[in-house]
Structure 1
Amino acid sequence: MPALADVIAAEADVVSAFVALLKEEQEVLKTGSADALPALVDRKTATVQQLAPLTAARNGELARAGFAADRPGIDAWLAKNPGDRNVRQQWQKLQALAAEARELNRVNGELIRLRMHNNAQALETLLAASQRQDLYGADGQATQAAPRRIIDSA
């Protein structure tokens, strides 16, 4: 059976890889390279799927030691084993990485929201321009829209 510190270290490694993917995603969103997003989403999904068995293993180690799952169990474990610096350090590392991932995910969400807003504005502009009747003449050349007068429509 793996030691609790080893399981938490493995979780931290996966979360660290996820943080790297979120940073890569942020660069893609900043540069507008939308073609890279599908493959990146696949890699992020695969990385997240690696976390579930590690979390289960951590919770299994806690249960075998008589503690609750997740943070309450770790907190109780650390309170009962204050001298185990390895578990404490690995847990702190995991918590720091998780906080970084949350912040990167928040920022990436905001970048996506801004891109969507800008795209919607551009689409509105294009649609409005396409509704103009006098944009191009019969010869395909741009024409200046002359103000219409009531007499022109009679």
Structure 2
Amino acid sequence: MTALTDERLAVRGFVELLRQEQSLLTENSIDPLLILAEKKSADALRLNELSESRRRLLEKYVGVLSSAAIQAWLEGHNHECLLIWQEICTLTEQARQLNNVNGELIQMKLRHNQQSLTALTRAVSQANLYGPDGQTNFSAGTGRSLGSV
């Protein structure tokens, strides 16, 4: 039961972290996102460890470790753990949905940034204000450079 309780607590924390990430993404707060990304990676590793511990523990009793099989086994053996397991499943689904939305927000921002860079690059290449030697390059239209009479 301790393993499930620890996992539930970790998944709750991860869901909250994903909510914070979503908030920062919508606010365009980049610096806090970098710090949050480190914590997210560490928390994801911890969740994997807890999940693996649960898997090793339950495979002795359940056999096939599907969510439905775990639920069925817990229904017959430990009602309190069943409630914790159901909450873990609900929280995990919330985390999956939040992570998908956050991924889409990140993709939108990346596309926007790429489009902005492309527009700036085109503008610079079309303006062609300076030549490779760093000198102004305005002679195309008049045949004279700036400052000449």
For the aligned pair, the TM-score class normalised by the smaller chain equals: 0.7 to 0.9
2:97 is aligned, of 96, 103, 108, to 103
> Partner amino acid for 1:77?
W
> Is 1:40 the counterpart of 2:68 in the alignment?
no
> Is 1:51 the counterpart of 2:47 in the alignment?
yes
Structure 1 residues 21-100: aligned runs within 5 Å: 21-65=17-61, 67-71=63-67, 73-81=69-77, 84-100=78-94
The equivalent of 1:115 in structure 2 is 109
Gaps of at least 5 residues in structure 2 are 131-135, 144-149
Deviates more, 1:28-37 or 1:54-63: 54-63
Structure 2 CA distance for partners of 1:57 and 1:134, relative to 1, 3 Å = closer
- The superposition leaves residues 66-114 of structure 1 with CA deviations (integer Å, 9 ceiling, x where unpaired) of 5343525413413533xx3211110111011101101110110110111
Structure 1 residues 135-150: aligned runs within 5 Å: none
> Partner amino acid for 2:17?
L
Q: 2: distance between equivalents of 1:56 and 1:132?
A: 57
Structure 2 CA distance for partners of 1:52 and 1:131, relative to 1, 3 Å = closer
Is the Cα–Cα contact under 8 Å of residues 62 and 70 in structure 2 kept in the other structure?
no
The equivalent of 1:144 in structure 2 is none
- The superposition leaves residues 45-74 of structure 1 with CA deviations (integer Å, 9 ceiling, x where unpaired) of 111121233223322332343534352541
> Partner amino acid for 1:9?
T
Structure 2 CA distance for partners of 1:76 and 1:42, relative to 1, 3 Å = same
Gaps of at least 5 residues in structure 1 are 141-147
Give the drift of 1:10.
1.0
Is the Cα–Cα contact under 8 Å of residues 22 and 102 in structure 2 kept in the other structure?
yes
CA RMSD of aligned residues (A): 2.6
The equivalent of 1:145 in structure 2 is none
Is the Cα–Cα contact under 8 Å of residues 4 and 81 in structure 2 kept in the other structure?
yes
Is the Cα–Cα contact under 8 Å of residues 7 and 88 in structure 2 kept in the other structure?
yes
* Aligned-residue identity in percent: 32
> Is 1:11 the counterpart of 2:7 in the alignment?
yes
Q: Provide TM-score, normalisation by structure 2.
A: 0.76
